[in-house]
Amino acid sequence: MVSYLKDGFPQQRMRVLPRPLIAQISSSGLSSRLLVTDAGYFPHAARHGRSRPHGAPEAVVLACTDGLGWCDIDGSTLRVGRGEAIVLPPGVSHLYRADASNPWTLWWFHVVGQDLPELLAPFEPGRRVVALHDPVRITHGMEQVMQALERDESAPSLRTASGAAWHVLAQLGAEHLMGPRDEAGPVQRTREYLVEHLAEPISLTDVAAHIGLSASHLSAVFRQATGGGVMDYLKRTRMGRARVMLLTTRDSIGEISRSVGYQDEFYFSRQFRAVNGVSPSAFRKASRAEEL
């Protein structure tokens, strides 16, 4: 029989609300609409897995940003790879686990509340896995959930976490309804190009030339599909990578800066602060303080 690990992975982040607190605040007010009860980030989660023969009391959302995992549900085994998410409704038997040779990196959270039936409607049996059209937006939302719960268990923090989770579920549902990603389309090819060249100097003209469109046409198509500009997407993708490196490596700020495409460490720090509200060193210090 295979033995799985529920948690305990190097550099993981996890928060679990006390169950009496959940019972107290989930019965009325905004918390009754949607409440995040648990959340986490498990990097390179070798041997990770959970078996719930009777399902979980909450809905479970798992987003894979690297590696691969599997989920047994509805009588089928579903593959969940990089750039995909899976949504598991309450009370449905499931077993999910990391791939043995290429374990996944996961952002995840559990939620309860009156809004769940509507938010979960797109994820019926046979359609649990979502191919993310905009992985950066989804993982950014899940990181906002995590950061809010890491702050404290006050009403403002719980509202912030629940609002971010509501947005993630709504976005996942919208992307699910849009159908599979168009791997050959200009928006998806732009995303892939940006991710593959994060460490290099990139201009909108460079990207447009690679995609085969004018810069103005690419900007319009990309903004219509994602709600934002190409270069803003690049900046947020770089900052997402930088946050992970600050949390999971001992690289200097300068090394991280160059790894995500900024040769000027001070300019990188200004950009990081603009997106995250704190400097890279303050972000790293606060994250390490949480582990003590």
Please compute, for residue 146, the number of CA atoms within 13 A of its CA located in the half-sphere on the CB side: 20
Contact 123, 60 (CB under 8 A): no
Separation of alpha carbons 197 and 212, rounded Å: 17
In this structure, what token pair is assigned to residue 85? 């998410």
pLDDT over threshold 90, residue 224:
no
Average pLDDT over the chain reads 90
Once rounded to an integer, what is the mean pLDDT over residues 39-47? 95
Once rounded to an integer, what is the mean pLDDT over residues 108-119? 94
Instruction: Give the residues across from 109 on adjacent strands.
Output: 39, 61
pLDDT over threshold 90, residue 69:
yes
Percent of the chain with pLDDT over 70: 94
Once rounded to an integer, what is the mean pLDDT over residues 186-199? 88
Q: What is the pLDDT of residues 168-182, one digit of tens each?
A: 999 999 888 766 666
Contact 102, 44 (CB under 8 A): no
For residue 27, the 8-state DSSP code is: S
Amino acid 3: pLDDT:
81
Delimiting residues of CATH 1.10.10.60 domain(s) in the chain? 186-291
Least confident of 14-23, 65-74, 127-136, 219-228: 219-228
Amino acid 102: pLDDT:
96
Q: What is the pLDDT of residues 235-288, one digit of tens each?
A: 999 998 999 899 888 899 999 999 999 999 999 999 999 998 999 999 988 876
pLDDT over threshold 80, residue 227:
no
Give the residue from 36, 27, 260, 56 showing the smallest Cα distance to 157.
Answer: 36
SS3 213: coil
Amino acid 183: pLDDT:
60
Q: What is the CA radius of gyration of the chain?
A: 19
Separation of alpha carbons 29 and 113, rounded Å: 11
pLDDT confidence band for 38 (50 / 70 / 90): very high
- The structure tokens 């479970």 sit at 60
Which fold, 186-291?
Arc Repressor Mutant, subunit A (1.10.10)
Which fold, 13-178?
Jelly Rolls (2.60.120)
Which amino acid appears at position 82 of this protein? Answer: R
In this structure, what token pair is assigned to residue 14? 């996890």
The count of other CB atoms within 10 Å of the CB of residue 82 is 14
In this structure, what token pair is assigned to residue 131? 């191919």
**What is the CA 54 to chain-centroid distance, rounded?**
26
Delimiting residues of CATH 2.60.120.280 domain(s) in the chain? 13-178
Amino acid 280: pLDDT:
94
- The structure tokens 């690419």 sit at 218
Flag whether the pTM goes above 0.85.
no
Amino acid 222: pLDDT:
87
Amino acid 292: pLDDT:
42
In this structure, what token pair is assigned to residue 274? 């603009």
Once rounded to an integer, what is the mean pLDDT over residues 88-104? 96
pLDDT confidence band for 23 (50 / 70 / 90): confident
pLDDT confidence band for 28 (50 / 70 / 90): low
Amino acid 39: pLDDT:
96
> How distant, in Å, are the alpha carbons of 126, 148, 220, 266 from that of 75?
10, 36, 43, 53
pLDDT confidence band for 142 (50 / 70 / 90): very high
Which ranges of 65-214 would DSSP assign to H, the alpha helix?
116-120, 135-151, 155-178, 186-196, 204-211
